[in-house]
Amino acid sequence: MENQPQSKKVSIVWIIIAAVFILLFIVSLVIDIPYIIGIRGAKISPKDVATAGKVIGLEFTSKEIQLMLKGIEGNLESYQELRNHQLDNSVFPAINFSPLIPYAAEAAANKIERQDIVLPEIPDLKVPDNLEDLAFAPVTVLSQLIRTGKITSTELTKMYLKRLKRYNPTLECVVTLTEDLALEQARRADEEIAAGKYRGPLHGIPWGVKDLFATKGIKTTWGAVPYKDQVIDIDATVVKRLEEAGAVLVAKLTSGALAWGDVWFGGKTKNPWNTKQGSSGSSAGPASATAAGLVGFSIGTETWGSIISPSHTCGVTGLRPTYGRVSRYGAMALSWSMDKAGPICRSAEDCALVFNAIYGADGKDFTVVNRPFHYDPSVNIKTLRIGYVKALFEKGPNKINDARVLETLRSLGINLIPIELPDFPVGSLGFILNAEAAAAFDELTRSGKDDLMARQIRRAWPNVFRQSRLIPAVEYIQANRFRTLLIKKMAANLKDIDVYIVPTNGGNHLLLTNLTGHPAVVVPNGFDKEGSPISITFMGNLFKEAEALLVAKAFQEATGFHKKHPKLD
Q: What is the 3-state secondary structure (H, E, C) of 374-429?
A: CCCCCCCHHHCCEEEEHHHHCCCCCHHHHHHHHHHHHHCCCCEEEECCCCCCHHHH
Helix (H) or strand (E) holding 215, with range, is none
Contact 548, 515 (CB under 8 A): no
Hey, what amino acid is at 13?
V
The mean of the pLDDT values for the chain is: 92
> What is the pLDDT, as a whole number, of residue 13?
60
Structural domain includes residue 82: no
Distance of CA 436 to the CA centre of its chain: 15
Rounded to an integer, the average pLDDT of 402-424 is 97
Q: Do both 36 and 140 map to the same domain?
A: no
Q: Do both 239 and 363 map to the same domain?
A: yes
Q: Do both 233 and 377 map to the same domain?
A: yes
Contact 114, 374 (CB under 8 A): no
Tell me if residue 132 falls in helix, strand or coil. Answer: helix
Q: Do both 153 and 275 map to the same domain?
A: yes
Look at residue 452 and tell me whether its pLDDT is greater than 80: yes
Please state the φ and ψ torsions of residue 41, each to the nearest 5 degrees. Answer: 60, -145
Look at residue 114 and tell me whether its pLDDT is greater than 90: no
pLDDT band at 569 (very low <50, low <70, confident <90, very high): confident
Give pLDDT tens digits for 528-541. 999 999 999 999 99
Structural domain includes residue 97: no
Within 10 angstroms of residue 488's Cβ, the number of other Cβ atoms is 14
Structural domain includes residue 430: no
Structural domain includes residue 212: yes
Look at residue 497 and tell me whether its pLDDT is greater than 60: yes
Q: How far apart are CA 208 and CA 205, in angstroms?
A: 10
Hey, what amino acid is at 250?
V
Q: How far apart are CA 368 and CA 55, in angstroms?
A: 37
Q: Which of 15-29, 60-74, 286-300 has the lowest mean pLDDT?
A: 15-29
Going by their DSSP bridges, the two strands 270-271 and 297-302 should be labelled as unpaired
Instruction: Tell which wins on pLDDT, 183 or 4.
Output: 183
> What is the pLDDT, as a whole number, of residue 185?
98
Rounded to an integer, the average pLDDT of 476-495 is 97
Look at residue 30 and tell me whether its pLDDT is greater than 60: no
Positions of E strands within 471-519: 499-503
> What is the pLDDT, as a whole number, of residue 36?
37
Q: Do both 7 and 156 map to the same domain?
A: no
Q: How far apart are CA 208 and CA 247, in angstroms?
A: 10
> What is the pLDDT, as a whole number, of residue 113?
78
> Domain limits at 36?
1-40
Helix axes 473-493, 509-516, angle to 10 degrees: 100
Structural domain includes residue 503: yes
Rounded to an integer, the average pLDDT of 229-243 is 98
Please state the φ and ψ torsions of residue 370, each to the nearest 5 degrees. Answer: -95, 105
> What is the pLDDT, as a whole number, of residue 41?
43
Rounded to an integer, the average pLDDT of 148-169 is 98
Q: Do both 403 and 544 map to the same domain?
A: yes
Ramachandran area for residue 318 (φ above 0: left; ψ -120 to 50: alpha; else beta): beta
Hey, what amino acid is at 296?
G
Rounded to an integer, the average pLDDT of 120-130 is 95
Q: Which of 23-32, 152-161, 348-357, 413-422 has the lowest mean pLDDT?
A: 23-32
> What is the pLDDT, as a whole number, of residue 37?
35
Facing residues of 416 across strands? 386
Q: Do both 268 and 394 map to the same domain?
A: yes
Within 10 angstroms of residue 331's Cβ, the number of other Cβ atoms is 27
Look at residue 567 and tell me whether its pLDDT is greater than 80: yes
Look at residue 22 and tell me whether its pLDDT is greater than 80: no
Q: Do both 290 and 415 map to the same domain?
A: yes
**150: CATH:** 3.90.1300.10
The rounded percent of the chain whose pLDDT value lies above 70 is 90
Q: Do both 141 and 28 map to the same domain?
A: no
Rounded to an integer, the average pLDDT of 394-407 is 94
Look at residue 33 and tell me whether its pLDDT is greater than 70: no
Look at residue 162 and tell me whether its pLDDT is greater than 50: yes
Structural domain includes residue 442: no
Helix (H) or strand (E) holding 476, with range, is helix 473-493
> What is the pLDDT, as a whole number, of residue 298?
99
> What is the pLDDT, as a whole number, of residue 96?
79
Facing residues of 389 across strands? 419
Positions of E strands within 191-296: 206-210, 248-253, 263-264, 267-268, 270-271, 274-278
CA dihedral 130, 178, 210, 335 (to 10 degrees): 170
Q: How far apart are CA 496 and CA 490, in angstroms?
A: 11
pLDDT band at 340 (very low <50, low <70, confident <90, very high): very high
Give pLDDT tens digits for 284-333. 999 999 999 999 999 999 999 999 999 999 999 999 999 999 999 999 99
Tell me if residue 337 falls in helix, strand or coil. Answer: coil
Domain count, the chain: 2
Look at residue 105 and tell me whether its pLDDT is greater than 50: no
pLDDT band at 366 (very low <50, low <70, confident <90, very high): confident
pLDDT band at 21 (very low <50, low <70, confident <90, very high): low
Helix axes 399-411, 545-559, angle to 10 degrees: 100
Q: How far apart are CA 438 and CA 466, in angstroms?
A: 7
* Contact partners, residue 251, CB within 8 Å, separation at least 6: 164, 174, 175, 176, 177, 178, 208, 209, 289, 294, 295
CA dihedral 38, 42, 46, 50 (to 10 degrees): 120
Give pLDDT tens digits for 458-467. 999 999 999 9
CA dihedral 319, 320, 325, 331 (to 10 degrees): 110
Structural domain includes residue 269: yes
> What is the pLDDT, as a whole number, of residue 112?
73
Q: Do both 27 and 141 map to the same domain?
A: no
Look at residue 479 and tell me whether its pLDDT is greater than 90: yes
Structural domain includes residue 224: yes
Q: How far apart are CA 557 and CA 551, in angstroms?
A: 10
Q: Do both 317 and 201 map to the same domain?
A: yes
Q: Which of 22-31, 228-237, 454-463 has the lowest mean pLDDT?
A: 22-31
Q: Do both 210 and 358 map to the same domain?
A: yes
Facing residues of 342 across strands? 300
